[in-house]
Structure 1
Amino acid sequence: MATDHTYTHEKYAYQKYYVPEQSKWPIIATVGLGLTLFGVASIMVNSSQGESTGGSWLLFLVGSLIMAYMLFGWFGNVIRESRAGLYSPQMDRSFRWGMSWFIFSEVMFFAAFFGALFYARVFAVPWLGGEGDRGSSNLLWEGFQATWPLINTPDPVAYPPAKEVIGPWGLPLVNTILLVTSSLTVTIAHHALKAGHRGKLKFWLAATIALALGFVVVQAYEYVHAYKDLNLTLESGIYGTTFFMLTGFHGAHVILGTLMLIIMLVRVMKGHFTAEQHFGFEAASWYWHFVDVVWLMLFTFVYIL
């Protein structure tokens, strides 16, 4: 059974901390994550070899469902324990450090993709254009132009290039306005929570979710436009690859952040959180601000420059 214990260190004298009972959730998470990743790898391998991907998709679906079950159950346990008053200031610090390191891991995740973009633009493309090779400009094919975005191909018939790239001042600008505004609305909601204004909290949190969903819709439309009208796909050379990897993973993080905000709104509706204790809400808002900052970098380095 879960129990309370008392620190012996003088800094935490008489301050209790919570020791949870044994949990099934870590092993369930391991199984679910393993099946999900194995399914993704199998889909990629079978697709490249022209084989059926039905079984691979089934593995991926089963793994995803197990992960959803795990997240619902595990976080449900944490919420119940928190509501029962079992967590001490020490546990609160533990949660804060855990969320901080999680966001840091996400920062490094995107740093790898931004690094790939930087390397391609600053080093690889100029080298292929002949920079540092005594002026040779035909390292790939006759007439190769080392320009960015790199969408020209050696044989436009065999390898149809993208007609053009997506300009920054249309849909990307709309999405930038949506995300920057959502960062403002979630901050207003946070201040309302700390001030005890529940009605204001619900309104501005719902507004944040609406803006987030608007971003997802606009990005989905942008992808359809890129594929159907501009022939800009994942196969459009290094530009297409970096474009869709960066914007696609960011879009996935927006969806995850939106789900977190929706859960926070449901909890607010149920009367959870107080002006003093609301780290669950804070964690979701931290993550959302992180998503906003990544988008501003994407808007600058992918769309504008």
Structure 2
Amino acid sequence: MASANYYVPHTAKWPIVGSIGLFLLVSGFANWMNGSTIGPWMAIAGAATVILMMFGWFADVIRESEAGLYNDKVDASFRQGMIWFIFSEVMFFGAFFGALFYARIFAVPWIGGEGTGVMTNSLLYPEFQAAWPTNGPAGLGGDFKTIGAFELPLINTLILLTSGWTITMAHWALKKMQRKALVGWMLATVALGVIFLFLQSYEYVHAYRDLGLTLGSGIYGSTFFMLTGFHGLHVTVGSIMLLVIAFRCMKGHFKPDHHFGFEAVAWYWHFVDVVWLVLFLFVYVV
């Protein structure tokens, strides 16, 4: 329903569908982790329902936008919503980086007796060395080696920085209504995202097979795979979003003065780039 000042959405089924999907996904995953046989099926059903919701809901939004039902006030609300979404993602990664910093700056030195006057490690693990990365008893976590920062991680850093440039070029092409260049730069950005994911997968295989670095490699392995893995998930989601936007560009969607769908994905992709730079510095380099 459209009014003179605002667009009021029609009655939609997608919020309840999404709620059901998220409930099944989270409950199924929790049951899966606790050994329930129904857990994996619940998680799969929940993931499929969430994907259905996303495709259906965004399809409705795209149709409404292309029909000219949205005005400047709706555009402003979309922008506010995307800002808050990215802020929630900042807090998400902030919690994980907080866990890394706490373990590295406080927990490890404390166990080694630094600043406490008590050699805690003499009671827990006499051979413990208060150094980062921690390498606990070989019988528990196993000996492991770390991944050099200036190998594949540096290549992936350059790839993501390049993808930030290509999507910026795509934005400029859109503003100038250079449709062919726009599509080309968008596809280049998608390709760079896929290459990043391929190299990260190769890095994981190398870590598990050759370096002994796994999720069970103490606090270092846990924080390493937690941070890089969730970032990889965000790159996967961002690449899918970029591909959808590229298809929309091929269909002639977006105008120089009306393209927030494009801008929202660009914001998200730049956020992913910035997170990787912080991750590269504190996980691989320092």
User: Considering only CA atoms, is the larger Rg found in Structure 1 or Structure 2?
Assistant: 1
Alignment of 1:229-244 (within 5 A): 229-244=210-225
TM-fit CA distance, 1:56: 1.2
* 1:165 to 2:149 alignment: no
1:205–1:265 CA contact under 8 A, matched in 2: yes
- Scaled by the length of structure 1, the TM-score of the pair is 0.91
Give secondary structure in 1 for the equivalent of 2:214: coil
* 1:88 to 2:71 alignment: yes
- Specify the alignment match of 2:27 in structure 1: 38
* 1:20 to 2:4 alignment: no
2:235–2:272 CA contact under 8 A, matched in 1: yes
Q: Aligned letter for 2:38?
A: G
CA distance in 2, matches of 1:162, 1:183: 37
* 1:288 to 2:277 alignment: no
Residue of structure 1 aligned with 2:130, choices 138, 142, 146: 146
Q: Which runs of 5 or more structure 2 residues have no equivalent in the other structure?
A: none
Q: Deviations over 1:83-122 (max 9, x none)?
A: 0000010000000000000000000000000001000111
What is the count of residue pairs matched by the alignment? 285
Q: Aligned letter for 1:4?
A: A
- Specify the alignment match of 1:11 in structure 2: none
* 1:5 to 2:3 alignment: yes
Q: Aligned letter for 1:234?
A: L
TM-fit CA distance, 1:160: 4.9
Residue of structure 2 aligned with 1:209, choices 190, 197, 208: 190
1:130–1:138 CA contact under 8 A, matched in 2: no
- Specify the alignment match of 2:95 in structure 1: 112
TM-fit CA distance, 1:139: 4.4
Q: Report runs of 4+ in structure 1 exceeding 3 Å deviation.
A: none
Q: Aligned letter for 1:62?
A: A
* 1:79 to 2:62 alignment: yes
TM-fit CA distance, 1:5: 2.2
- Residues 184/139 of structure 1: CA separation in 2 closer, same or farther (3 Å cut): farther
Q: Aligned letter for 2:31?
A: S
Once the two structures are aligned, what percentage of the paired residues are identical?
55
- Specify the alignment match of 2:205 in structure 1: 224
CA distance in 1, matches of 2:201, 2:73: 43
Cα RMSD, aligned residues only: 1.1
TM-fit CA distance, 1:62: 0.7
Q: Which runs of 5 or more structure 1 residues have no equivalent in the other structure?
A: 7-15, 47-52
* 1:29 to 2:27 alignment: no
Q: Deviations over 1:22-53 (max 9, x none)?
A: 1101000000010001111111111xxxxxx5
TM-fit CA distance, 1:20: 1.3
Alignment of 1:61-80 (within 5 A): 61-80=44-63
Alignment of 1:231-270 (within 5 A): 231-270=212-251
CA distance in 2, matches of 1:115, 1:222: 24
Q: Which moved more, 1:245-254 or 1:160-169?
A: 160-169
- Residues 20/119 of structure 1: CA separation in 2 closer, same or farther (3 Å cut): same
CA distance in 1, matches of 2:207, 2:143: 9
Give secondary structure in 1 for the equivalent of 2:3: strand
CA distance in 2, matches of 1:243, 1:139: 27
TM-fit CA distance, 1:140: 2.4
1:150–1:239 CA contact under 8 A, matched in 2: yes
